[in-house]
Amino acid sequence: MHEIERILDQLQRAFDGEAWAGPSLQATLAGITAAQAAAYPLAGAHSIWEIVLHLETWLHIVCRRLETATLLGPTDAENWPAPPALPNEEAWRATQDYLRQAHDQLRAVIGNLQDTDLTRRGTSPGNIPDSTSNSWYVMLQGVIQHTYYHTGQIALLRKAFA
């Protein structure tokens, strides 16, 4: 098995598969209502909806970095987008659909890579090689870890509704 295939497998397991660490992101989100997703059950914590939007942002950022080989980051507004002011089930379903689309897009981009690409590093927006940046391998492992980290947060927030 090639390393790209292993990365795709782990990304899928974290998102919607048989994750080693516990329920996948999709399993953790199953059954959460719009009202629950928009709630702030823990003082100082993000809502589930905010976390889902944040995860979507980072799936897009990693896609953009891979496609452009440029270390583009999100703006503050992109990093933690605000959910709709009036949450409803339709908007919550749409947010989850956008998350899946971002996941599918990243999987497609990764699927076009070769194992030799995993040692690449991005350039700064001025197209200057950045020797301090992580390799694409580390970035892709990071997006998997990021998914698990926030899945754990969502699981804890869910417990507040039990």
* Residue 162 burial (10 A CB sphere; 0-12, 13-18, 19+): exposed
Beta bridge partners of 123: 70, 129
Beta pairing partners, 129: 123
pTM: 0.93
Print pLDDT tens along the chain (162 aa). 699 999 999 999 999 999 888 899 999 999 999 999 999 999 999 999 999 999 999 999 999 999 988 888 888 889 999 999 999 999 999 999 999 999 999 999 999 999 999 999 877 665 545 555 788 999 999 999 999 999 999 999 999 987
CA 103 to centroid of chain Cα atoms: 7
- Domains (ranges, CATH) in the chain? 3-159 (1.20.120.450)
**Distance in angstroms (rounded) separating the CA atoms of residues 10 and 140:** 10
